[in-house]
Chains A and B, each alone.
Chain A
């Protein structure tokens, strides 16, 4: 086992543990904190793949902003431990959907022709990311900003409407 592999497993274990914790934890706050653990570990995997920019954006957006907003929302609501069985008649459908998703994932993973081992790492510079984002991928980029803008405006409209009533 090379030391890259050792590092990979050191990072992968918290990723998986965090992911399992998110769905098994009884307390919503614990779930959110497990989510942070999992997402930050994914950032570690990005670093291992020499994608520093992606790793840091992962920390910034998922580790910082998104989960903070989740926690903030939970602090403003009342958080209690969930009752023992959070179950319902939809159980077989849920199992079916989850099983199907897993089957598709495994199938696509197995059937993909992976390029195999390489000792060359393509380090992509920020300049390149910036250039691509504003030239080749300008339209998707703008569309994404538009979606965010709409969400922002929607939030403001909702908040204002409540105030007026």
Chain B
């Protein structure tokens, strides 16, 4: 695993190259701080370059892929297969006149697109791209992610408020309302991941997953679900892009922005998407490791492959799911995801206890837990009849393309008497009277828990306040 003494040309980990370079600088007799500053600059430049190239590439990929999904062609005129379209767009944005509306708060209006960039870029400082390819491996890395992620809001508020436009203000308000709600879920979900590993350092979390050969994804499917949804909200992309829902509030907080200032917001949104994907990959999917393959293939390539794969899920959902209304999104956060993530913490606590007790077969216990989770999740997903042979709703099985059903994977099963009325259907396109006729209930969500399910069930019922 450790390749600390590798030669500079060992490109499996670009940290080797940088490390050798820094030693060289030190040998030349430079003061202590010079290698420090140089390494920081190299890291920042590399991250900037990578993000810009990735964003340009993914603008094209996204437009083509969504075009395919929606039975149209997508950009195919500029360059081979339209490959140069993002470049053309970027140039166009650069040459457009930067307009500031008369009643805008000039300084804030100008500052907002710059400020929005900072937190999205800074997130990448703690992400390990490879074993030594991390700019700052903080021992409070996970907290750092949450803290920096919440700073986005300030820039969006600045943009929305300074525009002096009611749609912009509504957009900003929606963003803040959403982020307050979904940040809680993020914290709870990440707490569960940290609880299992016992460290907040992202490097440790990756190493833990590599050591035991189990991704946290398999141990905490509910946590991943929560993080994916909360991440989608935070990165402000369809189906959760209500902060800029063009059918309701023009373009939300950046209604008044044009030219390169708008370009900044656009790129920052993409970067936020990459950041969320990077966090998912690092925390839940083993980061730059892949069951030993990282010995042969550069870890950063594995990492980027996983990252683009996760980001593709977001593109996919954008192309297939309709936009939610704000009340649906808020209700979903507070009535479904928040209780679910609390339950997840309980479940993970139980798993952790069980795992700690197993001194000799720790790895096997992990595998067993993963298998249990996988099987139960899959069973719920396919909405199979439960043990008492009740036939599930056929309509649910048919409607395979809505968020309702993806989430429904976790609430389509029937509950026993102990969980009666405990529906997890906070997000439902149907009205509640209709839902009462078909009580899709959630025992299996909790049962996927394994050990502490009983306790979790009680707590969950308590949270929901269901007594009937």
Contact = CB atoms under 8 A, between A and B. Distances in A.
A59 B150 CA distance: 9
B140 A75 contact: no
A123 to B, nearest CB: 9
Contact of A72 (B150, B173, B183): B173
Interface of B: 33, 105, 108, 138-140, 143-144, 146-148, 150-151, 153-154, 157-158, 161, 169, 172-173, 176-177, 179-180, 183, 200
Contacts of B151: 59, 63-64
Interface string A107-134: 0000000000000000001100000000
Nearest to B154: A36
A67 B169 CA distance: 17
Between B144, B148, B157, B172, the greatest number of chain A beta carbons within 10 A of the residue's beta carbon is seen for: B157
Contacts of A150: none
A126 B177 CA distance: 30
Given A3-B33, A33-B154, A36-B154, A63 B176 contact: no
Rank and list the top 6 A-B pairs by shortest CB-CB distance, nearest first. Answer: A64-B150, A60-B147, A59-B147, A56-B143, A56-B147, A53-B140
Interface residues of A, number: 24
Contacts, number: 67
B105 to A, nearest CB: 8
A85 B205 CA distance: 56
Interface string A27-67: 10110010010000000000000001100110110011101
A69 B183 CA distance: 13
Given A52-B140, A68-B157, 15 more contacts: A3-B33, A29-B161, A33-B154, A33-B158, A52-B138, A53-B140, A57-B143, A63-B147, A63-B150, A67-B154, A71-B157, A71-B176, A72-B176, A75-B161, A126-B140
Interface centre among B153, B173, B200 (most CB of A within 10 A): B153
Interface of A: 3, 27, 29-30, 33, 36, 52-53, 56-57, 59-60, 63-65, 67-69, 71-72, 75-76, 125-126
Main secondary structure of the interface of A (DSSP, over half): helix
A3 to B, nearest CB: 6
Given A75-B172, A75-B173, A126-B139, A59 B157 contact: no
Contacts of A30: 108
Contacts of A69: 180
15 contacts: A29-B161, A33-B108, A33-B158, A36-B154, A53-B140, A56-B140, A57-B143, A60-B146, A60-B150, A63-B150, A64-B183, A65-B150, A68-B153, A68-B154, A75-B157
A75 B105 CA distance: 15
Nearest to B32: A3
A64 B151 CA distance: 6
A33 B158 CA distance: 9
Nearest to A53: B140
Of B150, B172, B177, the most chain A CB neighbours within 10 A belong to B150
A53 B143 contact: yes
Nearest to A71: B157
Contacts of A67: 154
Contacts of B139: 52, 125-126
Contacts of B157: 68, 71, 75
Nearest to B179: A68
A68 B151 CA distance: 9
Contacts of A72: 173, 176-177, 180
A52 B151 CA distance: 17
Nearest to B161: A29
A60 B161 contact: no
